[in-house]
Structure 1
Amino acid sequence: MSTPARGLTSETNQVKNEMKTKRPATARTLHRQIGWVAAFVAMAWALTGFLHPVMSWTAPRPAVQAPPYGGQIRTLPDIPGQFLDKSGQIRTVQVRLVTIGGRPYWMSTDPSMTRKTVADALTGEAAPEAEEAHAIALARHYAALPEAGVRSVEIIDRFNTEYPQINRLLPVWRVAFETPEGLAVYVDTGADRLAAVTDGRRRALLWVFQNAHTLKFLGFAEPLRVALLAGLILSVIATSLIGAALLLKAKGRGLRKAHTLAAWAALPFILTFTVSGMFHLFVTMGPGQALPPPGVFSLADLAAPRPGPGSLYGLIATAGPDGKPVWRIETGGGIAYQGAATGHSDADRARAIAGAGPEAAVSLVTRFGRDYSFANKRLPVMRVEGPEGPVFVDVREGLIAAAPRKSALQKAEGWSFDVLHKWEFLRPIGTKNRDYLLMTTVGVIFLTAALGLALLPRRRRKQPRG
C-alpha cells in the first residue's frame, strides 16, 4: 500500500524540481538569445571607446596656433564696393582687406556662395584664383611647411566623415600636402582661421569610430540610424539587467566563473555608458541649436574707410543693427569703428550684435573653457552677459559664435554625457590618467562580452534534446 504513496511523492518532487529549473532557465535562455547581439555590440563599442583616447593622443597638431600676422597696410586702396560691383555681387556679410602674396585684395563673403569674391585692391581686377592661393598660404603657415608639395586643394561645403560636424566652420578649404603621413589642413579663408588638421592615421581611426560607434554610414537615413542605435543599446541594457539577476545565483568554474567575476566589475559601467548614450541619442537627435546668421548689407552702402593717423593693420566691414555696413579699423592706436556712434568700442559692438542693453557686462575671452568650448572654434570672442545666459560674439566677423541657452532636459543630458559617458569629472587627475581609467574600464567590458560569447556555444551543446 505504501508503494503508490512513494511514487506520488517522487512524481511531485520531480514536478517541483522541473518548475524550479524552468523559471531561471527562462531568464538564462533570454540572456543567451539576446546575448548573441549584445555581446558583439558591446565589444564593438568597447573597442571604439578604447580607440577614442588613442585618436586624441595621436592626432596631428598644428605647428603654429596663431593666425598669420598680416603686417602694416601701407597703401590704402579705393572704395572696395567699386571693385566688387564688377563681379555682379550686390549683397554681402563681410568685406575685408587681406594680403595675399604681399599684395592687397578685397575679399567679400556672399552667404549664398561657397567661394569668396576677390578683387585686386590696387587694380580693381577680379582675382578668382587668389582665394585658393590664400588657402594654401594659410595651410603652409599652420603646418609650418613652406616648401612641401601640395597634393590637392579643394573647397568643402558640407560635413563628412573626415571633417565632421563638430568642426562647425563651413565652407573651408582642404589643403593636402605631399608628406609621408598624408597631412591635410582645413582653413577658413574668411578669417584666416585654422579649422582642423588630419592625417592618414587619424582618418582611418575616425572612420572606424564614427561608423562602428555611431553608425555614421547610415547618416543618409537618420531615423533608421537612430532607431537601430536605440535597439542595439536596449539589447545591451536588457542583457545586462537579466545578467545582473542571474549573477545573484551564479555558480560555476573556468570560463563561467571568469565571466561572472568580470560581469560584477563591468555591470555598473555598462549601464552608465548605455543609459547616458541613449539619453544623448534622443536629446541631441535632429538639428542642433540654430544661431542667428550674420547680418547682410548692400555693397552700394559701403563708404571708403577712413582710418585716420597712425599705422593701419586691419580693415573689415560687417552689418550693423540697421543693416548698414560698419567698418572695424585696427591701427597702432587701437580699434576704431566707422559707421557707428563716436567712441564705439568692441564691447559696444558685441552688445549690439548680441541684442543686449548698454549696461550688459562684456569681457574678452581668449581661451576655450567650460562655457565656451573648443568645439566653437572662434577666438578671441566677447562674452556678453544676458538674462538667459552668456552670448559669445565674434566682433571681427560680426556674428554670434555661441549662445549656450539650454533647457532643463538639455542641461541634464549634458551633465549625464559629460559625467557618466566621458568622465569629465576626473579631469583634475589629468586627462591622460582619466583616459587610462576609461580604457581599463572598457577593457573589462570587452572581456565580459568576449567571455559571454565564448560560453554561448557551450551552453547550447549542453541543452537537452528532444
Structure 2
Amino acid sequence: MNKNIIRKAHRWLGLLFSVTILMSAGSGVIHNVMTRTQAPPPSARPSGEGLDVSQIRMAVGEAVARLPEAAQGISAVNVRSIGGQPWYQVYVKGGHAAQYVSAVDGRVDPSRDEAYASEIASAFLGGKKGLKTDFLTSFNTEYINIFRILPVYRFDLDDELNTRVYVSTTTGSVTRHTDDSRQFEARIFTNFHKLGFIPNKDVRDLVLTTLTFATCVVSLLGIALFFITRPKRPSPGKQATKARK
C-alpha cells in the first residue's frame, strides 16, 4: 500500500468531512443543553374535572346505533367528559375522525372533538385558554415525526414565550409543549443532527448516509495509516550486531 496516497486521502477527506463530525459534536452539546432546559414530553393523563357516571343514560349500543356509519363496524369506544357531560367517543372502522354521541340524550355532535381538544389544552395550561391555530394531519418542521401521534390540534397562548401545545383527542393528552425559546434549541439540534435544513427526506437520508459512510472511511484510513507508518523494530540479529559494535 502506498503510504503517501493513504496519507493524502486521509488528510483531504478528513478535512472535507470534518464538518460532519463538528455538526455531530455540536448536536450532542445541544442535546445535553436541551435535557437541562426543556421538560420531558408531557405524560398522557385523563383530562377534565372527572367523569360523573351517574349522568349516563344511554348504553353504548344505543348510542352507537345513532351513527349511520356504525354499520361498517366499530373499532373502539371511549367515554369522555366534555363540558361536564359524558360523551361516547366512537371510532368507526375505516374512518379517521372520531364521532361523538352524548351519553345523556344520544345526540350526535361533530364539534365535540375540537371542544374536547380545547379542554385538554386548557387543563395542561393551568386553566388558560389557548387559541386553536391549526389541525395537523401530517408532520411539519415543528411537529416532527418523533412525536408519532396524528392528527393533533395546535393551540397558541398569547404570552411572552409564544407558548403552544399540540393536543391529541385520541390519547386525550398533550403530545407536545413548546415555545419560541425551546423551538430555537430544537431547530439547532434538528439542523445539526438530522440536516433538517434539507426539505426532501429522501435527499436528506442520502446525504446523511453518504456523510456517515465517508466519516467511517476516514477513520479506517487513519487506522491503516497508523499501522503502516509505525516504527519497525529491528530484528534480533541487527540488535546483536549493534551491541557488539
User: TM-score per shorter chain, which class?
Assistant: 0.7 to 0.9
**C-alpha separation between the residues in 2 aligned to 1:32 and 1:125?**
73
Number of the residue aligned with 1:20 = none
- Partner SS, residue 74 of structure 1: helix
Query: Given the alignment, which residue of 188, 191, 195 partners 1:211?
Result: 191
Cα deviation, residue 93, structure 1: 1.4
- Check the 8 A contact 1:152/1:177 in 2, yes or no: no
Q: 1:43 aligns with which of 22, 46, 50?
A: 22
Confirm or deny: 8 A CA contact 2:58 2:105 kept in the other structure: no
* Within-5 A mapping of 1:18-29: 23-29=2-8
- 1:32 paired with 2:11, answer yes
Residue deviations 1:310-353 (CA, integer Å, cap 9, x gap):
xxxxxxxxxxxxxxxxxxxxxxxxxxxxxxxxxxxxxxxxxxxx
Distance 1:28 1:78 in 2: 79
Aligned pair 1:118/2:97, yes or no?
no
Equivalent residue letter for 1:48: S
Range 229-238 or range 23-32, more displaced: 23-32
* Letter paired with 1:229: L
Runs (5+) with no aligned partner, structure 2: 231-245
| Alignment-derived partner of residue 94 in structure 1 | 76
The equivalences for 1:210-359 within 5 A come to 210-216=190-196, 220-222=200-202, 224-246=203-225
Amino acid at match of 1:239: V
**Alignment RMSD:** 3.1
What percent identity do the matched residue pairs reach? 25
Q: Which residues of 2 match residues 53-452 of structure 1 at below 5 A?
A: 53-60=32-39, 66-68=45-47, 69-90=49-70, 91-110=73-92, 112-144=94-126, 146-148=127-129, 150-216=130-196, 220-222=200-202, 224-246=203-225
State the alpha-carbon separation in 2 of the partners of residues 30 and 177 from structure 1: 54
Note the alpha carbon deviations across 1:24-78, whole angstroms, 9 max, x for none: 4322321233123211111111111211122222224578874335233222222
Q: Please say if residues 17 and 214 of structure 2, whose CA atoms lie closer than 8 Å, have aligned partners that are also in contact.
A: yes
Q: Is the 8 A contact 2:74 2:93 kept in 1?
A: yes
Q: 1:115 to 1:43 in 2, by over 3 A?
A: same
The residue identity in structure 2 corresponding to 1:44 is M
Task: Give the secondary structure class of the aligned counterpart of 1:52.
Answer: helix
Q: How far, CA to CA, are the matches of 2:158 and 2:45 in structure 1?
A: 23
Which SS does the other structure have where 1:89 is aligned? helix
Cα distance in structure 2, aligned partners of 1:27 and 1:62: 47
Cα pair 1:64 1:141 within 8 Å, conserved: no
Distance 2:223 2:17 in 1: 14
**What letter corresponds to residue 38 of structure 1 in structure 2?**
F
In the aligned structure 2, how far is the partner of 1:210 from the partner of 1:70?
A: 39
Q: Of the two structures, which has the highest relative contact order with CA contacts closer than 8 Å and spacing of 6 or more?
A: 2
Distance 1:214 1:162 in 2: 14
Change in CA separation of 1:81 and 1:218 when aligned onto 2, cut-off 3 Å: farther
Whole-angstrom CA distance in 2 between matches of 1:197 and 1:86 = 36
The one-letter amino acid paired with 2:9 is L
- Give structure 1 stretches of 5+ with no counterpart: 1-22, 251-466
| Deviation at residue 143 of structure 1 after TM alignment | 2.8
* TM-score, L = length of structure 1: 0.43
Q: Can you list the C-alpha shifts for 1:288-327, whole angstroms capped at 9, x where unaligned? A: xxxxxxxxxxxxxxxxxxxxxxxxxxxxxxxxxxxxxxxx
**Partner AA of 1:125 in structure 2:** R
CA contact (8 A) 1:60 1:198 kept: no
Q: Measure the CA separation in 2 of the matches of 1:57 and 1:89.
A: 48
- Cα distance in 1 for partners of 2:217, 2:42 equals 48
**1:105-136 CA distance string (max 9 Å, x none):** 22212354443111233333322222111111
SS of the equivalent of 2:100 reads strand
d(CA) in 2 for partners of 1:37, 1:239: 10
